[in-house]
Structures are given as C-alpha cells and as structure tokens.
C-alpha cells in the first residue's frame, strides 16, 4: 500500500466557532483502500484518534458513505465518498510519547511488551497521556519514511497489572489475533500472590460477573456473565500463597474477583480486601498464540516482579 498522508486525501471544511470543536471531513476512497472495512479506513486516516472514539462517531450516525449511514464493518469501494464529523482536538490522546517500554518480541506484524504496573494500556477520559499506546505510537513511527503504523489493541491488562501483552502492527494481524482471543485459542497464564494459605493444590473458580450500578464496581452478580478461572498453587509461605491463574473466560477484573470470592484476595487489591500497602501482585506471565503471518506457535514468558 502506498504511504498515506491525511493531508493528501482529506479536505477539511472548518466548522469551528466559539462553541464547537467539530470538523466535517470529506474522504475519497483510493484504489489501495478498496475492500477496506469502514472502521479500518477511519483508523488509517486518523491514526491519532482512538478506535473507540471513531466507533462511537459511526454508531451515532456522524459518518456517511455515499450519503448513507453504514456500520463499521461496511466494505468500501474505490471512489466511495465518505463524510464524517469528528473532534480533531481529541487527537492528543494518541500522540506519540518517548516512554520507556520493555519489548519482549517484535516483527513486522506484532509486538509483545512486558507492561509495567501502573501504566494504562490506552488513554481514558481522565488520563490522556503516558499510556502503552502512546509509547508504542512513538516506537512504531520513529522512521517517517515507513508510513504511519497504528498500534492495534488485541486484549488489555488492568493499569496495576503487569506482564505480557501483544499489540498488532497492521490490520490483518489485528483481525487474526482478535479472532484467536474471541475463540479462546490463546494461552494465558498469570502469577499472583494471595492472602492466606490455600488448602487445595489446584481447582476451578466459577461465578457470574456483572457491574454494580450503584457502586460502579465489577462484582459477582446474579444475571452477570459466566466466568471461570483455573488455579494451581506454586508455593505456600506463612499466611500467603503464590498461585498460577488461568482465565478460561476474560471478564473485567475476573482474577481479582474470583480470588477474593474464595477468601484469598490478591495482595495489593485494596478494593477487595488486599493489603493496600503493597502494589498489586498480579503479573501476566505466559502468553501463547499462533502467529498471524504463518500460523506458527509462539510462546512468551515473563518473570513476575515479585516473589514470596
């Protein structure tokens, strides 16, 4: 594909006034972009805007293709005319930042990073900078001659959770890796230190997880989504246990919720009874997947930054 530059393809009609930050942008789909999904085109043309925001714009009807509202999966043809209204002031949330990150593996299709505890994976409404995506946007685009590479999130880790995370570097790799995660074809293992001495050497924790509307907190909840975690004890010491956790399902805060539900909250999980004086002792230790380019198995391992 030819190198794409937003100024080469986009004609901006400035609608800014004293109260509005929205710009109407017109895009003509070029030959190299035919058969793109609408979402992929917008991500390509607006690399500094978050995918979540662009999806919201399409969902609320602020994007038309040839005068019609289409969904994010709509396939485009050459010379299609796309009109979209976006807030370009939100671009700073994906600006490149020269932040230190530990690259475990990288090639033309993907990168695996050992994320430190305390770093958000992607910008939020409250925190716009200092995230893993900001760091990767800088790392991927140090050579402007190669064209813009947009970090493609495949899965996430909580801010306080450290460990391995894979990020795609192109649309094909992103789609294939996302499919593997959705079909539970990815091997994921976490290491954690929990309060108390677990009596069983291994077992399974089940429970429905949902969001408590009043507390604005993810909890075990009747009518929530089914979830399952397998655990295996690695080491016991006094009043703590080192365990390996396998999230069979991938619900929000699942590992924290499940450990707390059996009376063994993860150390550092202050919201669920963990020792608040320590950092969260939860680390994504193992990650296995099939490479999107050749389907070969790749397995990465990271040592936890904590021990008993």
- Catalytic annotation, residues: 158
Same domain, 154 and 24: no
What's the confidence (pLDDT) of residue 282? 98
Per-residue pLDDT averaged across 218-222, rounded? 91
In whole angstroms, what is the distance from residue 266 CA to residue 260 CA?
A: 7
In whole angstroms, what is the distance from residue 73 CA to residue 71 CA?
A: 5
Per-residue pLDDT averaged across 222-245, rounded? 96
What's the confidence (pLDDT) of residue 1? 38
Q: Dump pLDDT digits (tens) for 98-112.
A: 999 999 999 999 999
In whole angstroms, what is the distance from residue 25 CA to residue 161 CA?
A: 39
In whole angstroms, what is the distance from residue 25 CA to residue 14 CA?
A: 8
Helix axes 51-59, 38-45, angle to 10 degrees: 130
For the whole model, what pTM was predicted? 0.74
Residue 5 has pLDDT above 50, yes or no: no
Least confident interval from 79-88, 210-219, 262-271, 281-290: 210-219
The verdict on residue 163 lying in a domain is: yes
What's the confidence (pLDDT) of residue 91? 62
Report the chain's C-alpha Rg in angstroms. 22
Domain of residue 116: give its range. 94-185+289-301
Residue 87 has pLDDT above 50, yes or no: yes
Residue 191: which H helix or E strand, with range? Answer: strand 187-195
The verdict on residue 306 lying in a domain is: no
Residue 293 has pLDDT above 90, yes or no: yes
What's the confidence (pLDDT) of residue 176? 92
What's the confidence (pLDDT) of residue 132? 94
What's the confidence (pLDDT) of residue 123? 75
Same domain, 64 and 196: no
Picking from 57, 92, 73, 84, the residue whose alpha carbon sits closest to that of residue 171 is 73
Same domain, 173 and 205: no
Least confident interval from 32-41, 48-57, 200-209, 261-270: 48-57
Number of independent structural domains in the chain: 3
In whole angstroms, what is the distance from residue 143 CA to residue 46 CA?
A: 18
Residue 171 has pLDDT above 90, yes or no: no
Per-residue pLDDT averaged across 266-272, rounded? 95
What's the confidence (pLDDT) of residue 7? 42
Environment class of 40 (CB within 10 Å of its CB; exposed 0-12, middle 13-18, buried 19+): buried
CATH number at residue 269: 3.30.2350.10
In whole angstroms, what is the distance from residue 48 CA to residue 39 CA?
A: 14
Average pLDDT, rounded, for the chain: 87
The verdict on residue 307 lying in a domain is: no
pLDDT band at 8 (very low <50, low <70, confident <90, very high): very low
Same domain, 74 and 127: no
Least confident interval from 9-18, 263-272, 294-303: 9-18
What's the confidence (pLDDT) of residue 92? 54
Per-residue pLDDT averaged across 149-174, rounded? 91
Residue 18 has pLDDT above 50, yes or no: no
- Is residue 257 within 8 A of residue 220, CB to CB? The reply is yes
């Amino acid at each position: 594909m030819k190198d794409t530059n937003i100024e080469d393809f986009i004609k901006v009609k400035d609608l800014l006034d004293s109260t509005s930050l929205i710009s109407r942008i017109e895009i003509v789909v070029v030959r190299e972009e035919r058969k793109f999904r609408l979402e992929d085109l917008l991500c390509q043309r607006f690399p500094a805007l978050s995918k979540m925001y662009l999806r919201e714009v399409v969902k609320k009807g602020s994007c038309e293709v040839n005068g019609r509202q289409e969904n994010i999966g709509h396939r485009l043809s050459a010379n299609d005319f796309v009109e979209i209204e976006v807030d370009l002031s939100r671009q700073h949330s994906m600006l490149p930042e020269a932040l230190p990150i530990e690259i475990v593996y990288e090639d033309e299709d993907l990168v695996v990073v050992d994320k430190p505890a305390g770093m958000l994976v992607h910008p939020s409404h409250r925190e716009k900078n200092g995230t893993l995506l900001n760091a990767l946007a800088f790392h991927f685009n140090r050579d402007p001659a190669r064209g813009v590479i947009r970090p493609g999130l495949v899965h996430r880790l909580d801010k306080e959770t450290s460990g391995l995370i894979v990020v795609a570097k192109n649309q094909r790799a992103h789609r294939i890796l996302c499919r593997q995660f959705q079909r539970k074809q990815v091997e994921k293992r976490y290491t954690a230190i929990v309060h108390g001495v677990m009596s069983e050497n291994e077992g399974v924790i089940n429970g429905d997880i949902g969001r408590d509307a009043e507390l604005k907190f993810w909890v075990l909840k009747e009518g929530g989504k089914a979830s399952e975690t397998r655990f295996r004890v690695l080491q016991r010491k006094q009043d703590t246990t080192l365990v390996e956790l396998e999230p069979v399902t991938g619900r929000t805060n699942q590992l924290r919720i499940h450990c707390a539900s059996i009376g063994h909250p993860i150390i550092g999980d202050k919201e669920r009874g963990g020792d608040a004086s320590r950092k969260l002792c939860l680390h994504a230790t193992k990650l296995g997947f099939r490479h999107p380019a050749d389907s070969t198995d790749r397995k990465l391992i990271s040592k936890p930054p904590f021990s008993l």
